[in-house]
């Protein structure tokens, strides 16, 4: 398994040498907000919405004091806008009241923030703090790692724990970003481009036939 994991990582590094987060942000709390908006929404859509949101409320304090109904209007096209707007404002309030105006750097603290689950927390830890072992277990990760035999099942937390056991901690965050890029370009959910897949040798979907 170790050799397999290292080989997959090496190939993904060649294919996607710059595994940056697709969400646009400049401040730590802006990434927290963008990730919340991305739930059941495309990153491309979020990147269209956040410029207006961040312009309307250019500081953490402004966002924390925002009128939730106005935030709802600004993020409406991201879906589930009522829940997302509420979490954004309450989350920013908690950053000020509990965390000194900064996105905290531990899983335990992050999970206390409204709208922040393990996927969001791992992304924030990996991107903002470079915490080793941060595994962002989204739908791409679950689907592709299952196909590659790196994990079993579809429960995000269980898949995360399985991957934590086999991924080199220093590679985990970038691996997950690369998997997202790979999942969008080649290993898509409905029409995977199997004929040009660089990881085909390990794919259970291709080899089960």
The residues carrying an active-site annotation are: 119, 138
Contacts 24+ apart (CB under 8 A), 15-24: 15/178, 15/181, 15/182, 15/198, 16/177, 16/178, 16/181, 16/182, 19/174, 19/175, 19/177, 19/178, 19/181, 20/177, 21/123, 21/127, 21/177, 22/47, 22/180, 23/47, 23/50, 24/50, 24/51
Instruction: In whole angstroms, give the CA distance from residue 135 to residue 207.
Output: 27
Instruction: In whole angstroms, give the CA distance from residue 77 to residue 193.
Output: 30
Query: Smallest Cα–Cα separation from 127: which of 14, 5, 55, 29?
Result: 29
């Amino acid at each position: 398994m170790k050799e397999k994991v290292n080989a997959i990582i090496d190939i993904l590094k060649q294919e996607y040498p710059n595994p940056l987060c697709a969400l646009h942000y400049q401040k730590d709390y802006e990434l927290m907000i963008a990730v919340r908006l991305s739930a059941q929404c495309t990153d491309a859509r979020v990147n269209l919405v956040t410029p207006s949101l961040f312009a309307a409320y250019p500081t953490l304090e402004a966002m924390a004091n925002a009128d939730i109904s106005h935030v709802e209007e600004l993020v409406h096209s991201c879906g589930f806008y009522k829940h997302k707007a509420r979490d954004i404002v309450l989350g920013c309030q908690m950053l000020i009241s509990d965390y000194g105006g900064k996105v905290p750097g531990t899983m335990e603290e992050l999970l206390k923030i409204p709208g922040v689950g393990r996927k969001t927390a791992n992304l924030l830890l990996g991107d903002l703090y470079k915490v080793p072992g941060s595994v962002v277990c989204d739908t791409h990760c679950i689907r592709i790692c299952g196909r590659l035999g790196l994990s079993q099942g579809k429960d995000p937390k269980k898949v995360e724990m399985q991957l934590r056991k086999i991924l080199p901690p220093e590679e985990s965050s970038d691996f997950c970003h690369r998997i997202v890029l790979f999942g969008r370009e080649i290993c898509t959910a409905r029409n995977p481009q199997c004929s040009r897949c660089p990881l085909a040798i390990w794919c259970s979907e291709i080899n089960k036939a």
